[in-house]
Amino acid sequence: MKQIFLASSFFELVCLSAGIDSGVYDTTAAPALLGTQGVEPSDVSSKDGSSRERILLLSNNAAVLELSRPFSQTPGADRLLARFDRVVDLNASVHPSHPSTWSPAQNDLPMVEAHLRQTWDLGEDDVELVLESPQVNPAIALGRVFASATIRVHADGLMSYGPTRNQIPLANGQRMSTLHYLPLVPELEPRLLAEFGIVPEPLDPEAFRSVVREVGDSTASDLDAGLGDELQGSPWAFAVGQYLAALGLITEEEETALHVEMIRQAAARGFSRVVFKPHPAAPPAQLEPLFTAAEEDGITLSVLELPVLAEVVIDRLRPGLIIGGFSTALATAREVYGVPALTVGADMLLEAISPYQNSNRIPLTIIAEVCDGSERASQSTATQLKALVEAVSYCMAPDISRDLRSGAEDFLERSAETARFSRYFKRKRLASLRLPGGDVEKFAPRSFARRTGTLAVLAARRQGSRLVNRAKSRQRR
């Protein structure tokens, strides 16, 4: 058995390593397959995992590959790579195609499989795919190429709590059996791939913390030298940047203003020291406005240039507060490490994200609702969050979320007009789905003409005139 683990970021490598350490990948058959098509529990390999070879398939999905640094070169990566029998570079295998656009023609699939089996030394062994981002390439392409492989999915962030954003080939979806995810919002169940009946399986948070600690040990000297002495003796806030402008979600000026607001919020909460960490995939940040804002507010600002996970910084140096837009690091800090998390710019981002079904909407909704600077949410808040996320999920993807409609109607009936929840919904979207809170426009001849044609409008007017004339004639009689 060859297990192929697809990963495109260091955080995903950490999550995969945590899963391997806790034994979730030691069984050959995934839970959803047991007892079906002749697969029985007795067919599952023993826990030692000795009968399988684990292959890490690295994918660099950066838009400009020449300007990006492979995450396998991140400090501490060597310890995690040692958990795999060998490492394969997907970019080299599909060159000159980019992994994100690699999509072999249907007729070429047998040839491509034969080529990859030879190149990756797979022989004729059975293959199990453990894929990230199953709704886009290269995950879709790998599923199509290895058409007989069983498929599991590993999800490292908050997008797993939202609906599947793109259509997945049926032949792929029917083989996806287990979703391994980090439980960053325990009160929620993942919606990703729910239409295929996938079985969610949470990772052990302690295994995750252990791997992060292991990475931190390998970078301790550099991290302590860069920040350790500066942060001794006083509480500090950790500001994490994102690459929203590079994704086209907001402008560069808006992103800079967002980072400045992080400094302002830290000062407003009594912190005198702030560490700002740019996102590793983001272009060079405009730092001058941040230092200006810090000086105005009496803040000592440091910029963390070391290519290290935010979770490593949190685990090792323990900030008093983490501030960001809707980075997964906020949820990880809050749930896994108990560090208060605060989001800034949520209202602007909720308005900016387009279209409504943008896959960032669920992560932003969760972060905006729970990351208010407190450590944990109350049970009543957790119940409201579940109802909110399910309502937003239905509005994003009604065709594959029909089971959520009734709950969405109930939630919107109660909350659509409240200031707290109305920001998560668009009135036109609600109207198109005939949900509470939507604006159902009255008959408008011009818009009706655009949809059905001028002749139809004239016919409707003539019919209306006839009805009026008949009514008048009856009154005369």
Spatial CB neighbours of 120, under 8 Å, sequence gap ≥ 6: 4, 55, 88, 93
- Specify the amino acid at residue 195: E
In CATH terms, 222-377 corresponds, of 1.10.10, 2.60.40, 3.40.50, 3.90.550, to 3.40.50
pTM value?
Answer: 0.86
Low-confidence residues in the chain, pLDDT < 70 = 28-50, 228-229, 281-285, 376-380, 439-477
Element (H, E) at 396: helix 379-396
Answer for the pair 412, 391: CB distance below 8 angstroms, yes or no: yes
What phi, psi does 56 have (nearest 5°)? Answer: -90, 120
Q: Which phi-psi region, left, alpha or beta, contains residue 300 (left: φ > 0; alpha: ψ -120 to 50)?
A: beta
pLDDT at position 138, please? 98
Q: Is 240 helix (H, G, I), strand (E, B) or coil?
A: strand
Chain-centre distance of CA 148, in angstroms? 28
Residue-range domain boundaries for the chain: 2-209, 222-377
CA dihedral (362, 368, 369, 370) in degrees, to 10, reads: 100
Nearest-Å Rg of the Cα atoms of the chain is 26
Answer for the pair 56, 89: CB distance below 8 angstroms, yes or no: no
Predicted confidence (pLDDT) per residue in 98-122, tens digit = 999 999 999 999 999 999 999 999 9
Predicted confidence (pLDDT) per residue in 198-251, tens digit = 999 999 999 999 999 999 998 888 888 778 667 777 899 999 998 888 778 889
The DSSP string of 338-356 is: ---EEE-SHHHHHHH--ST
